[in-house]
Amino acid sequence: MIKIIAFYSLSMIVSFFLFISCDFSNSSSLEKEQTTSTIAIPHIKKVSSHKQLIVAKNIRLGKYFEFMDSVVSKYDSLVPYELSEHLLVRNNPWIIDTLANTDYYRMIARDSFVYDQRQMIVLPKGSQLNIPDSLSACKLLDNFFNTELDVNIPEYKLRIFQDSILLYTFPVRVGQFRERYLKFGDRVTDLRTKTGIGSIVKHVKHPDFYNPVDGKRFYVTRRDDGKTTMMPQIPWIETEINNVRNGQMIHPTTNPNTLGKAYSNGCIGVREADAWIIYYYAPLGTKLRIRYDLETYDEGKVIFVLRDIYNLID
């Protein structure tokens, strides 16, 4: 687990009031929305009357978050809701696809070796970003509220549900079934991934990378194909389980051969492409459930019994 210093849905009544709270029809909100839409934003050519931003120069991944933060900061005052990076990107889903395609192994499949992913262009010059209108923003906020991440440890799967509808299923790696001394914490640590109910409490957009055993920092990684690259810049997601922040992160692995295994130091590892999708479906406060269920069901019947990787069942 690299050192870098995660509830079930509430009632329909709460969800209803959340939706009602998105009513921006009062006069002050209208006045705010009708404010001129021309604004000076670094690397932005203009903001049109239709709330479309035209990117004026190529934005590389290394500057992506800085760029997005500048857009959110300067455009927030012109909309009748609190604009966020997650709202902006979910209103422009092509961005998620573009970021997912920076995955080293997707690029290798296209016969393109990428040593430093941060140099890849993710927002080309001339790209159009659409700012969500009030109704779109309200719908997205409601979707955020009704989204839950579900991880089943012995199944090695992470699922994203929205309103109990399955949106995505991703393979993961989980914590090893052993104890080990870690320099971080300076103690012998149970490496098994912890179960419970919680939420997403932090995003780390610019992670530093350390070996948890000896505490040494590193900058490069050896890939499954034997090649060495710089560590990619992909957000890490910090979880809180049962009201405890125990260091369990959801983060990309540069070695997808380890997926489907109890391999990590407790964290939940995913493919690089999947990490981008999970990040944009998991704003702060997103509900999280980590469980240890050996039986899988279909139409109420047990169809498969998983291996008890942590020897928890007598």
Residue finishing a domain among 141, 165, 187: 141
Q: Is 160 contained in some domain?
A: yes
Q: Is 2 contained in some domain?
A: no
Give me the number of domains the chain comprises.
2
293-313 in b/e form (b: 16+ CB < 10 A) is ebeeeeeeeeeeeeeebbeee
Q: Is 313 contained in some domain?
A: no
Render each residue's pLDDT in the chain as its tens digit; 314 residues: 444 433 333 333 344 344 435 655 443 333 343 333 334 455 655 544 458 899 999 999 999 999 999 999 989 999 999 999 999 999 999 999 999 999 999 999 999 999 999 999 999 999 999 999 999 999 999 999 999 999 999 999 999 999 999 999 999 999 999 999 988 778 899 999 999 999 999 999 999 999 888 899 999 999 999 999 999 999 999 999 999 999 999 999 999 999 999 999 999 999 999 999 999 999 999 999 999 999 988 767 777 899 999 999 86
Q: Is 24 contained in some domain?
A: yes
- On whether both 242 and 130 belong to a single domain, the answer is no
* Residues contacting 37, CB < 8 A, separation 6+: 47, 48, 49, 51, 78
Chain-centre distance for alpha carbon 167: 14
Question: What pLDDT is attached to residue 42?
Answer: 55
Sign of the C-alpha dihedral computed for residues 17, 19, 25 and 26 taken in this order: positive
- On whether both 153 and 86 belong to a single domain, the answer is no
What does residue 76 show for φ and ψ, rounded to 5 degrees?
-55, -35
- On whether both 179 and 70 belong to a single domain, the answer is no
Pull the structure tokens for residue 218: 């590193």
Q: Is 229 contained in some domain?
A: yes
Question: What pLDDT is attached to residue 225?
Answer: 98
For residue 312, the one-letter residue type is: L
Q: Is 312 contained in some domain?
A: no
- On whether both 100 and 207 belong to a single domain, the answer is no
Please report how many Cα atoms fall inside a 13 Å half-sphere around the Cα of residue 271, on the Cβ side.
Answer: 18
Identify the domain containing residue 104 by its residue range: 12-141
Residue finishing a domain among 98, 120, 141: 141
Which whole-number Å values give the CA distances from 175 to 216, 307, 308, in the listed order?
21, 15, 13
- On whether both 44 and 131 belong to a single domain, the answer is yes
* Residues contacting 268, CB < 8 A, separation 6+: 151, 158, 172, 173, 174, 193, 248, 249, 250, 251, 290
- On whether both 86 and 205 belong to a single domain, the answer is no
How far is it, in rounded angstroms, from Cα 30 to Cα 27?
Answer: 5
Residue finishing a domain among 109, 141, 173: 141
Pull the structure tokens for residue 174: 């989980």
Question: What pLDDT is attached to residue 22?
Answer: 64
Pull the structure tokens for residue 290: 């980590």
- On whether both 137 and 165 belong to a single domain, the answer is no
> What are residue 60's DSSP bridge partners?
121
Q: Is 102 contained in some domain?
A: yes
- On whether both 158 and 64 belong to a single domain, the answer is no
pTM for this predicted structure:
0.87
Q: Is 7 contained in some domain?
A: no
How far is it, in rounded angstroms, from Cα 119 to Cα 62?
Answer: 6
Question: What pLDDT is attached to residue 304?
Answer: 81
- On whether both 255 and 279 belong to a single domain, the answer is yes
3-state helix, strand, coil in the chain (%, to 5): 25, 30, 45
Question: What pLDDT is attached to residue 235?
Answer: 98
Question: What pLDDT is attached to residue 203?
Answer: 98
Query: Strand (E) positions, 128-205?
Result: 128-130, 147-152, 157-162, 165-171, 174-175, 179-182, 187-190, 196-204
- On whether both 173 and 295 belong to a single domain, the answer is yes
Residue 278, classified by CB atoms within 10 Å of its CB into exposed (0-12), middle (13-18) or buried (19+), is buried
- On whether both 169 and 283 belong to a single domain, the answer is yes
Pull the structure tokens for residue 28: 């002050």
Kindly report the CATH number assigned to the domain that includes residue 195.
2.40.440.10
